[in-house]
Structure 1
Amino acid sequence: MAMEKFKPLLLMILVQICYTFLYFITEASFSHGMNPHVYVTYRNIVGGLVMLPFAYFLERKKRPKLTMALLLEFFVLSLMGVSLTLNMYFVSLTFTSPTFIASMLNTIAALTFVLAVILRLEIVNVEDPRGIAKIIGTLVSLAGVMIMTLYKGAILKNLWHPIIYIHQGNNVVKEDWVKGSILTVASCITWAIWYIMQAYTLKRYPAQLSLTTWMSFVGAAQSAFYTVIVQHKRAAWTIGFNIDFWSTIYGGIVISGLVGYIQLWCTEQKGPVFVTMFNPLSTILVALLAYFVFGEKLYMGSIIGAIVVIVGLYLLLWGKEDPKSERKDEEKCCTTKKELYHEDNMMQKFTSDANPKDTKKPKQ
């Protein structure tokens, strides 16, 4: 019972760890010369191919019949969460930094929360302490993100040389923070809408593996169509057995495949707000990894903001916990124990009746 209760929590922590490595692997690949649009296309092709056999065999009986309405829904979902959003997101990464991107992505949780409340996917009772905790937790997490983004403070000195120089590459892109910031904000908005749409689609198409596969293939086709228009050089589509190859494999198998499926499962179980409110964890992990491993600067504002984010996340988690379900689980557990105890007593009585010779004779 305890494992089932904490399963969504543990899975979302795993998702954020996977995202943490994604930031640095893709930044290294783009610095090496990988085209972001080509990367999105290849990554989703890999993700779709990996998930296809699992979706076909494991959800044969569970998968609903396809309709034109569902196909249109898949098209919009793929556009909002895969092709359009990822293209904006990864292009913005070439103009900014992993720490900045990870910080800005935390606004998705607040945007998703507001949309979920408006659309009645999330119930907030302002007269209930847990309802108030949801609102305060969201605001506190957003405040922590703003602190990490806007306030720097003192720089913490590195006591050793960086282990990996992630920024080295053949083609270093010149930073353009204005363009990068606009693209990042736009991707956050479309991502929040995407999470909300998933909750509605899963009600009509409750097959997470199949939905992940559909979004990967359709998103890859959309991205390929756009990339062919903006990228006419054939050499951009050629990748060698280097960081470009490994970033595509990691992004396809781990992010588009495994992480995409986990997020859909958690969205169906706990709702879109639960999924997005774990984004601050990747911000903290990215900042720590960038400091200890890659030698990037770590500011006091990042540490303060991280602490505030964790407090907000805890409040939001506590607010979303349903005390009624906890009592039901406890009552169910107690009932199960009583049933087992009763069955054990009945078995012992039956055994003693069936074997009267085993009973000790009284001493004469």
Structure 2
Amino acid sequence: MATKAGSLGNIYRRFKPQLLMVLAQIGYTFLYFITEASFNHGMNPHVYITYRHIVAGVVMFPFAYFLERKVRPKLTLALLLEIFVLSLLGVGLTLNMYFASLRYTSPTFVASMVNTIASLTFVMAVVLRMEVLDLRNRRGMAKVLGTLISLAGVMTMTFYKGPIMRNLWHPVIHIEGNTATHENWLKGSILTIASCITWSIWYIMQAFTLKRYPAQLSLTTWMSFVGGAQSAVFTVIIEHKPAAWAIGFNIDFWSTVYGGVVVSGLIIFIQLWCTKEKGPVFVTMFNPLSTILVAILAYFVLGEKLYMGSVLGAVIVIIGLYMLLWGKESDQDVHNNSQEQPCLPCKERKDNKILLITSADKEVSQREP
């Protein structure tokens, strides 16, 4: 029994980042349904973003204050400015553009386009030398092919519908839709693409900020408060009805609490921890899982239409995700083994090139004897 418990503990420690990211995507899945119900109930999306991050900041503050007193660096003006930009990219600008784009396109289009964040982040990480890319071995080829295959799966879900899959039973839950939307596909597409780009930059910037401010709980709290203030300013500019800020003890209240505590609080903290451990590309590669889970639950629970193209695209995305994760895990194993092995004599290293594969926040260097 003790041996079995020990082996389970070893498996948990080895795959802890993967398990945490899967749980994070499950949290995002429930967020989709509860916010959809809240918006259909009449809540303003920009007011929701503001309240959600204020709630997150209030909830995370005591944990950050007491648990990170010894590891929290002193705030400087430069660091405060960096947190301001990070909050703008992750909350104030990105999320407001994301929810604004929903008014002009469709939720399926926006959810599918968000999955391109992983590919954009991978390209940025390679350009900035945050990600190892050696096309001479299987690991490098797996990461490139995995990214391209995942992108192909996203494009399949976006542009190919195929036949409708017949529902086997009546929906368990029914959410009334809000038909007061105004389609402007060009405007919505521009907002969606812009939000994906800023989202990718946000993931990349997290890795740099965590080097100078390694306190994840405190950084989550700062981003929540600063992002909430930025969103409040943006909302005041575009929303002139004071009644929009009033919410009752209904689905609007519960969606705000869930989004603040679980998503903007706990899940953002998990993502920061995984970014520090595995890099930004690792975190973004799990984004398609929430789209797949949303499609499955929407089909079986809400009775929404499910197209064959969505199923085919989801399978392609999973294959690409597995390939990229395999490549990254193999890189990490090679790096760990290279650190454990003693230095070879110069005679044995003659005519050999050693590629030092580092983690996501270290540079790649190649040296010849």
Q: TM-score range by the shorter chain?
A: 0.7 to 0.9
User: What is the aligned partner in structure 1 of residue 344 from structure 2?
Assistant: none
Q: Deviations over 1:296-351 (max 9, x none)?
A: 110111111111101000100100012335658999xxxxxxxxxxxxxxxxxxxx
Check conservation: 1:278, 1:313, Cα contact below 8 A: yes
Q: Aligned partners of 2:338 and 2:129: how far apart in 1?
A: 24
After superposing the two structures, state which structure 1 stretch, 180-189 or 30-39, moved more. 180-189
2:334 maps to 1:324: yes
Question: In structure 2, what residue type is equivalent to 1:226?
Answer: F
Question: In structure 1, what residue type is equivalent to 2:265?
Answer: G
2:26 maps to 1:23: no
Q: Aligned partners of 1:179 and 1:286: how far apart in 2?
A: 25
Residue 66 of structure 2, aligned match among 35, 38, 57: 57
Say which SS state the counterpart of residue 240 (structure 1) adopts.
Answer: coil
Check conservation: 1:146, 1:305, Cα contact below 8 A: yes
TM-score after normalising by structure 1: 0.87
Check conservation: 1:77, 1:197, Cα contact below 8 A: yes
Percent sequence identity over aligned pairs: 72
The structure that has the greater radius of gyration is 1
Q: Which runs of 4+ in 1 moved over 6 A?
A: 328-331
2:79 maps to 1:70: yes
User: What is the aligned partner in structure 2 of residue 258 from structure 1?
Assistant: 266
After superposing the two structures, state which structure 1 stretch, 295-304 or 87-96, moved more. 87-96
Check conservation: 1:40, 1:220, Cα contact below 8 A: yes
Structure having the larger proportion of residues in helix? 1
Q: How many positions carry a matched residue from both structures?
A: 330
Q: Aligned partners of 1:176 and 1:290: how far apart in 2?
A: 25
User: What is the aligned partner in structure 2 of residue 310 from structure 1?
Assistant: 318
User: What is the aligned partner in structure 1 of residue 226 from structure 2?
Assistant: 218
Say which SS state the counterpart of residue 303 (structure 1) adopts.
Answer: helix
Q: Aligned partners of 1:180 and 1:143: how far apart in 2?
A: 22
| Aligned CA-pair RMSD | 1.8
Q: Aligned partners of 1:276 and 1:234: how far apart in 2?
A: 37
User: What is the aligned partner in structure 1 of residue 210 from structure 2?
Assistant: 202
User: What is the aligned partner in structure 2 of residue 163 from structure 1?
Assistant: 172
Residue 230 of structure 1, aligned match among 228, 235, 238: 238
Question: In structure 1, what residue type is equivalent to 2:147?
Answer: T
Q: Deviations over 1:55-83 (max 9, x none)?
A: 00000000000001100000000000111
Say which SS state the counterpart of residue 48 (structure 1) adopts.
Answer: helix
Gap runs ≥5 in structure 2: 1-9, 342-369
* Residue 176 (structure 1) shift: 4.3
Residue 109 of structure 1, aligned match among 101, 118, 121: 118
> 1:163 and 1:96, CA in 2 relative to 1: closer, same or farther beyond 3 A?
farther
